[in-house]
Amino acid sequence: MHTVRLAATLLTAPSAGGDEIRRLPVQIALLEVRADHTGDIDPDRLRGWFGGMRLYTLRSVAEGGGCHAGAAERHRRLRRAACDFDLVDLEAERDLTPELLARIPPHQRVISWAGPAADGAAVQARAASVTATPARFYRIVPQARTARDGLAPLRLLRGTARRDLIAFASGAAGLWSRLLSPQFGAPFVFGSVGRDGRSLAEPSVDQLIDDYGLPLHAWPRDLYGIVGSPVTHSLSPRLHNLAYRTLGLPALYVPFEEEEFDGFFRDMVGADALAELGVSLRGLTVVSPHKERARAIGPSDCAIVRRADAANLIVRNGHGWRSATTDPEGVAVALSERCVALGRKTAVIGCGGAGRAVAAALDELGADVTLVNRGLERGRLAQRALRLPFTPLASFSPDDYATIVNATPVGRGGESLPFDIGGMRTGGSIVDLAYGREPTPLIQQARARGLTAVDGLEVCLIQARHQFRLMTGHDMPRAGMTAAPAEAGAFAETMPETIAVTRRHRAATG
């Protein structure tokens, strides 16, 4: 296994004291300064902040960067950078002039190309052109429109078997290829410096370390992931990947940001596109808006999947792909753990895949369930399919319900649902499947009212345990459950075993 190093890319001008650079994790071996965004930084200060290798990059607008300078100004800045940086990025299409190459020797060069998505032949041709000039490293980065666009750079790496070639697909749809690129020879994986929150297009180095365990100490043989749009907010990669490492499983869980499920399944799953790379795609968590389409990919043993006509999990076994759902179990177990009786008058807000599955399961467990939805057409369809009463959201009042489940994404970004829970009776309960960095407005209101409040993070952790077992056949270790942010981790530390409730749910729902 060759050595893989992490590289941190500085995309904004640093603070006066360079605190964001000083705080970089010890795993960072290279700091890339994107001078097209940061401007030119005093090299002496930079050396004081970071003792590893330093790469100067002046990405042009033509290649997706912010540098508008003409050739003369651009080359002047690159020549000056060669005096102060260990490495200088040279764009193959505009910087390989005899004068510039004479001033920047091969051991300082990173020759690069960044451009639109390209098929395998085009990427191979581009690589042949880029690597024709001597350099220390080469970088080929096509933009990904879909997950399939990440295949070409990985095939390039595998085919060339070079240890000086960095190749992956950029953009949210290409993050999975960035994560797998070291397995096929890429010497660095790049992440950004000091960006708040999660990003699939520009993941931070902390995100690469915390969510994906980079740099990896063993190459993954099995690949799992989450597919949907959006998937940026999901904690599943962090939970699953830490569990793999704890158990010593050769696996990696990656995000697939995809707006169209059928094409993704055809190109990446059904065609077994990863098999030629020596990686087996074994299971996928499926989130909005693809749960209905996921149900159509194969048979299911789960009665709730069949009734709700939606799945949030597809798993590969010896007979192909099968669909399942863990949406109901997350809600049922969370309520039971809070000693909330399930056989109460319950409103489920949202008639998408998750809402239908939760409503069907709670109905099977004895709850008096009413469906609520903003759109009338989807609400009526769910009403007929599930044979449950339906109320439009515009006329919904929570006052007559003992339990309300929000099965929509509303609240993840701090939005409030268009109803007031102030009239709910004492002893009522709220479940919100949405979660974000802070409790949603619905959860905050429920807690302020003294109602039982089940946060979406709690539901996520319960579902993660079930999905992990269905995917791998192993129980998720406690370490995997405490990998979430503090508010979820605290819950996981005190969460009692849920075997009895789980068995009850499975018995009732098939």
Name all domains of the chain by residue range, CATH numbers in brackets. Answer: 5-219 (3.20.20.70), 328-459 (3.40.50.720)
- pLDDT of 324-354, one tens digit each? 999 998 999 999 988 899 889 999 999 999 9
pLDDT tens-digit readout, 307-322: 999 999 999 987 789 9
Q: What is the pLDDT of residues 166-189, one digit of tens each?
A: 999 999 999 999 999 999 999 999
Q: Taking each helix axis from N to C terminus, what angle separates 353-364 and 376-386, rounded to the nearest 10 degrees?
A: 30
pLDDT confidence tier of residue 505, bands split at 50, 70 and 90: very low
Say yes or no to pLDDT of 490 above 80.
no
DSSP bridge pairs for 166: 139
Q: Is the pLDDT assigned to residue 479 strictly greater than 80?
A: no
Quick one: pLDDT at residue 496? 34
Catalytic residue, from 109, 291, 344, 466: name it: 291
Identify how many contiguous H helices and E strands the chain contains and give both numbers. 21, 19
| 16-20, 148-152, 223-227, 483-487: segment of lowest average pLDDT | 483-487
Q: What's the pLDDT at 436?
A: 83
Name which of 136-140, 270-274, 448-452, 485-489 the model is least confident about: 485-489
For residue 25, the tally of other CB atoms under 10 A from its CB is: 13
> Mean per-residue pLDDT for 292-319?
90
pLDDT above 50: residue 497: no
From the list 180, 178, 116, the residue with the least C-alpha distance to 143 is: 116
pLDDT of residue 486: 43
Among 154, 255, 299, which residue's Cα sits nearest to residue 140? 154
Distance CA 334, CA 498 (A): 9
Average pLDDT, the chain: 91
Cβ atoms within 10 Å of 247's Cβ, excluding its own: 16
185: Cα separation from own chain's centroid: 23
Confidence of residue 163 (pLDDT cuts 50, 70, 90): very high
- Can you read off the two tokens belonging to residue 464? 């993660």
Is the model's pLDDT at 360 over the cut of 80?
Answer: yes
State the average pLDDT over residues 453-464. Answer: 93
pLDDT-based confidence at residue 413 (cuts at 50, 70, 90): confident
Q: Quick check: 362 pLDDT over 90? A: yes
Residue 461 bridge partners (DSSP): none
Q: How confident is the model at residue 481 (pLDDT cuts 50, 70, 90)?
A: low
* Phi, psi angle pair for 163, to nearest 5°: -110, 10
- For the question of whether the overall pTM of this predicted structure is more than 0.75, the answer is yes
Q: Rounded to an integer, what distance in angstroms lies between the CA atom of residue 5 and that of residue 205?
A: 11
Which of 91-100, 196-205, 330-339 is predicted least confidently? 196-205
pLDDT at 2 over 90: no
Residues 446-473 have a mean pLDDT of 95
Residue 299: the pLDDT is: 80
pLDDT higher than threshold 80 for residue 80:
yes
CB-based contact 243:186 (threshold 8 Å): no
The average pLDDT across 211-229 equals 92
Residue 283: per-residue pLDDT: 96
pLDDT of amino acid 239? 94
291 is catalytic: yes
pLDDT at site 1: 58
